[in-house]
């Protein structure tokens, strides 16, 4: 039993080291920007996924997601965005840089005139010809540290829509108005 605990601890330490390496390889500045809300024109999230690698170990994907639009698929609202990150196997070998579109289901959307927050659901997605299981995450936008957001009116309207009953199509349309307003320069 003691040996099994030691192996689990070693694997956990290796995964933590690998995650730190991936953050550095993905561009620490981009990660910091997403986490510190330095890009006031985007809905962002830090995403994490796992997969079983060729050695039977647990590989990881770490990256940043920038949501570009929302769609309704099979009745569910999906956040569609660009993920930039890296895929690495259980030994820490980087298998490749990731830069592709990702669709994740959303739930629990909340909006004020200054903030937008939503839960991103778990999903199975093929990345670099590898089936990856993405963990649930939180995506959002927060303008409290900056000036009045260009998206003020649509953020307020989204908040009003969320307080009332709404359809998936209405929610996707309101969120697309927010992303368009934030992207407008």
pLDDT tens digit string along 27-70?
Answer: 433 333 334 434 557 899 999 999 999 999 999 999 999 999 99
Q: What is the structure's pLDDT at 11?
A: 47
Domain that holds residue 84: 2-109+121-141
58 in a domain, yes or no?
yes
Q: What is the structure's pLDDT at 13?
A: 42
Contact in structure between 42 and 175 (CB atoms under 8 Å): no
50 in a domain, yes or no?
yes
178 in a domain, yes or no?
no
Report, as ranges of residue numbers, the positions in the chain whose pLDDT lies below 50. Answer: 5-38
Q: What is the structure's pLDDT at 153?
A: 83
Number of domains composing the chain: 1
Q: What is the structure's pLDDT at 32?
A: 37
Q: What is the structure's pLDDT at 141?
A: 86
176 in a domain, yes or no?
no
Q: Where are the beta strands (DSSP E) in 74-129?
A: 76-88, 94-111, 115-120, 123-127
Q: What is the structure's pLDDT at 129?
A: 92
- How many angstroms separate the Cα of 171 from the Cα of each of 27, 28, 102? 33, 33, 19
Q: What is the structure's pLDDT at 151?
A: 75
Q: What is the structure's pLDDT at 156?
A: 86
Q: What is the structure's pLDDT at 94?
A: 95
153 in a domain, yes or no?
no
Report which DSSP code applies to 144. Answer: T
- Of the candidates 155, 60, 170, which has an alpha carbon nearest to the alpha carbon of residue 113? 155
Q: What is the dihedral of CA 106, 169, 141, 184, to 10 degrees?
A: 140
pTM attached to this predicted model: 0.75
């Amino acid at each position: 039993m003691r040996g099994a605990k030691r192996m689990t601890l070693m694997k956990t330490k290796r995964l933590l080291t690998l995650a730190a390496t991936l953050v550095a390889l993905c561009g620490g500045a981009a990660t910091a920007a997403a986490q510190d809300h330095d890009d006031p024109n985007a809905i962002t999230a830090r995403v994490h996924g796992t997969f079983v690698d060729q050695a039977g170990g647990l590989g990881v994907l770490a990256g940043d997601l920038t949501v570009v639009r929302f769609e309704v698929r099979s009745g569910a609202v999906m956040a569609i965005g660009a993920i930039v990150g890296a895929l690495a196997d259980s030994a820490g070998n980087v298998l490749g840089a990731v830069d592709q579109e990702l669709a994740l289901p959303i739930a629990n959307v909340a909006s004020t005139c200054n903030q937008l927050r939503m839960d991103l659901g778990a999903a199975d997605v093929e990345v670099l010809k590898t089936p990856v299981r993405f963990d649930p995450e939180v995506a959002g936008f927060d303008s409290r540290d900056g000036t009045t957001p260009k998206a003020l009116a649509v953020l307020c309207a989204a908040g009003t829509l969320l307080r009332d009953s709404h359809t998936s199509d209405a929610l996707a349309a309101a969120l697309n108005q927010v992303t368009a307003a934030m992207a407008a320069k």
